[in-house]
Structure 1
Amino acid sequence: MQITSAAEIQNNQATYLIYGPPGMGKTSSIKFFPGKTLVLDVDRTTKVLKGQPDIDIAYVSNTNTWEEWGKIILDLDKNYRNKYDNIVVDNISELERCLLSDLGSKGKNKGVPSQGDYQYMQFRVVNSLRYLKNLGANLIWTAWETDDLYTDSSGQQYNRSYPQINKKILNNVLGLCDVVGRILVNTDGERGFVLSASNSTYAKNQLDDRKGCLQNELIQKN
């Protein structure tokens, strides 16, 4: 074993997942990330970043997604390690659908993904997250929001909001993130993130003691 004292840890990079309904401001939040940012655009919503000098955008194919996504991961490792302060995948909900659609189109079920295709997608998404965490940058995944009826241990029911990610890998993906934030708009029109979990919202913050933050405060400068 290679043992390191916690007092000697120097790596400040973290993994974030931010989620909310379409149009709530997830992609716009990228404008506020400190340093140089690379956005892997899956859902084609990066027009809101037009004119930002410290943001580069790479468009991920939404038809030949399975093969191209694998090449992108390898290219990042080979040619772009430690070249960006932030790497953003925008967004994971659409990435899952594109991977499944591509696999289904190559199958024998008239474009409908098979059960095996779902398993392939699940492993690729989780493995991609693990891989991207090692590129020397903050990793930020965006996701759309979904909800369900949640019953706690006492039998009380709540409408619960959480990221729209395949339920088979939901806990795995969220467990690999340091911060999970739900974007909301307050009565004054300010956008911000909920960083503290409740019965109605999935959120967490393992970096500091903040329970919420404004949109421009999510990633703090070192």
Structure 2
Amino acid sequence: MLNITKATDIKETKGTYLIYGPPGIGKTTSIKYLPGKTLVLDVDRTSKVLRGCKDIDIAEIDNINTWDHWEKVLQDIVKNKNNYSQYNNIVVDNISELERCLLSDLGSKGKNKGVPSMGDYQYLQFRLVNSLRYMKSLDCNLIWIAWESTDLYTTAEGQQFNRAYPQINNKILNNIAGLCDVVGKLTFNKEGNRGFVLMPTNDVFAKNQLDDRKGALQSELIIDGTKAIPNKPTK
């Protein structure tokens, strides 16, 4: 039987966020501003910028034997939820490097001198999408960090734009983004303040299904760790 909930009864929202930008722009630093207590799953070893932050714990992901270790980490977090209930946020930093580590590990176990096979890419695609589905069962905000890629995007009218998007395997990019409530590109404004673009344009891959904001300061991506800004009522 279906478990039906009235939309008017939904009081709190735990969000799933995918944030991206070029290396060095401050994606990992953004973790400092997350409200509440945060667990960082450190893949790319950039967590030293978080030194001294009292509400942040860091766990390194094995970036050599990644395939088996990542599976064990997810199983432990989900099966032992009570042990991780202290965390308001769980961050994967970053998914682009995790993708490369998983592929490298699979390739090292193959017969092609360390080069991943076509089948390895398919294994990777299912592993990443299923990982996000698996983690969405947790009662906390999920933040996946990615590097940035660019391509030449052509609209239905034939116009072309240089588009920025998260560096994730192209075959699953839409799937991953679809499972996220928010996709934001970290950038600078004219005054040098960092913030996230949350509204999609022809040259920026983004979305925001939690509220009406088109952008957010780096310190205001998540307002309070549990509650999203309510959508404006439609007329």
Q: TM-score, normalising length from structure 1?
A: 0.98
Q: Is 1:152 aligned with 2:155? A: yes
Q: 1:193 Cα deviation (Å)?
A: 0.4
Q: Does 1:116 align with 2:119?
A: yes
- Pairwise mapping of residues 122-137 of structure 1 onto structure 2 (< 5 A)? 122-137=125-140
CA displacement 1:100-141 (0-9 Å, x = unmatched): 000000000000000110010110000000011111000000
Instruction: Name the residue aligned to 2:39.
Output: 38
1:179 counterpart (172, 179, 182)? 182
Q: CA deviation at 1:2?
A: 1.6
Structure-1 separation of matches of 2:124 and 2:33: 31
Percent identity reads 68
- Where 2:171 maps in the other structure, the secondary structure is coil
Conserved? CA contact 1:19–1:163, under 8 Å: yes
The answer to whether the aligner puts 1:14 opposite 2:19 as a matched pair is no
> Per-residue deviation at 1:81?
4.4
Matched, 1:206 2:204: no
Residues 24-103 of structure 1 aligned to structure 2 (within 5 Å)? 24-79=25-80, 80-103=83-106
Q: Which moved more, 1:160-169 or 1:79-88?
A: 79-88
Choose from 192, 195, 198 the match for 2:198: 195
Amino acid at match of 2:24: G
| Secondary structure in 1 matching 2:151 | strand
Structure 1 gaps, min length 5: none
Q: Which runs of 5+ in 2 are unaligned?
A: 228-235
Match of 1:111, SS state, is coil
1:107 paired residue number:
110
Structure 1 Cα separation of the partners of residues 108 and 137 of structure 2: 32
CA contact (8 A) 1:19 1:142 kept: yes
- State yes or no: 1:142 paired with 2:120: no
Name the SS of the counterpart of 2:170 in structure 1.
coil
Retained in 2: the 8 A contact 1:81–1:135? no
**Separation in 2 of the partners of 1:74 and 1:30?**
24
Instruction: Name the amino acid aligned to 1:16.
Output: Y
CA-to-partner distance for each residue in 1:73-106, whole Å, 9 max, x for gaps?
0110133343310000000000000000000000
Do 1:20 and 1:184's aligned partners in 2 also have CA atoms closer than 8 Å? Answer: yes
- 3-state SS of 1:144 partner: strand
TM-superposed CA distance for 1:11, in Å, is 4.0
Q: Distance in 1 between matches of 2:222 and 2:159?
A: 35
Task: Tell me by how many angstroms 1:187 deviates.
Answer: 2.4
Secondary structure of the equivalent of 2:30?
helix
Match of 1:169, SS?
helix
Q: What is the TM-score normalised by the length of structure 2?
A: 0.93
How far did residue 53 of structure 1 move? 0.3
CA-atom RMSD in angstroms: 0.9
Could you tell me how far 1:181 is from its partner in structure 2? 0.4
Superposed counterparts of 1:210-221, under 5 Å = 210-221=213-224
